[in-house]
């Protein structure tokens, strides 16, 4: 019960998944196990908005958590939303088990530019670290270079790095100590 599970929800480029997995393993110091891909999240589609409900996707991930996993990260190319926002780049349960990132708005094509796989990978890694960070109790950081700083758009994503700042790393280390002690506090969505 110590792996971080990763799952493609629908079609996601395998090398991109591998690159995200490598960084997640490094940052959070847990093994990453890749699950077989899930189908496209048709159940979460909102016809009125033409987007996918991030809340419903997260809920579906809860059903996929296996006993060997402490966390699970879903990666989807679909555009996600929560009711109060026009879109989200990702969502996670604060101190919970599940997180999801959307690649839709991390892709240059979304803004009318040619595809840039390297830039997409860099952005996806930062957002994966951000959302998994929430599941390990990290909240938004005021250091704009820290991956835990809030990104409202892709320019913010490009401003930040992928390495946790000293303060966030300290909070994560503390959380690890709690995990080792068998005490994993539940929390609300964040």
For residues 120 and 146, which CB has a smaller minimum distance to Zn ion in the complex? 146
Stretch that binds Zn ion, among 7-15, 49-57, 66-74, 166-174 (CB under 5 A): 166-174
For residues 116 and 158, which CB has a smaller minimum distance to Zn ion in the complex? 158
CB of 187 to Zn ion, least distance (A): 13
Q: Catalytic site residues?
A: 131
- Using rule CB under 5 A, residue 148 touches Zn ion: yes
For residues 2 and 173, which CB has a smaller minimum distance to Zn ion in the complex? 173
- Using rule CB under 5 A, residue 168 touches Zn ion: yes
CB of 40 to Zn ion, least distance (A): 24
Q: Token digits for 156?
A: 């913010």
Are the C-beta atoms of 7 and 73 separated by less than 8 Å? Answer: yes
> CA 3 to CA 72: how far, in whole Å?
9
Q: Token digits for 149?
A: 């700083």
Among 146, 154, 157, 171, interactor with Zn ion by CB under 5 A: 146
From residue 52 to residue 91, what is the string marking binding to Zn ion with x (rule CB under 5 A)?
----------------------------------------
Contact residues for Zn ion (CB under 5 A)? 141, 143, 146, 148, 165, 168
């Amino acid at each position: 019960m110590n792996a971080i599970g990763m799952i493609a929800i629908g079609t996601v480029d395998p090398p991109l998944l591998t690159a995200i997995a490598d960084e997640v393993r490094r940052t959070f110091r847990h093994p990453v196990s890749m699950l077989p891909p899930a189908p496209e999240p048709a159940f979460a589609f909102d016809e009125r908005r033409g987007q996918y409900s991030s809340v419903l996707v997260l809920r579906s991930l809860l059903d996929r958590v296996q006993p060997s996993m402490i966390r699970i990260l879903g990666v989807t190319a679909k555009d996600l939303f929560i009711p109060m926002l026009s879109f989200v780049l990702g969502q996670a349960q604060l101190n919970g088990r599940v997180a999801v990132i959307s690649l839709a708005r991390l892709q240059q094509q979304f803004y009318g530019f040619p595809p840039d796989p390297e830039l997409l990978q860099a952005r996806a890694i930062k957002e994966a670290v951000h959302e998994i960070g929430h599941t390990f109790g990290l909240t938004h950081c005021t250091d704009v270079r820290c991956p835990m700083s809030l990104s409202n758009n892709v320019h913010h994503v490009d401003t930040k790095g992928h390495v946790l700042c000293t303060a966030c790393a300290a909070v994560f280390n503390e959380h690890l100590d709690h995990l080792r002690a068998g005490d994993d506090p539940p929390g609300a969505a964040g």
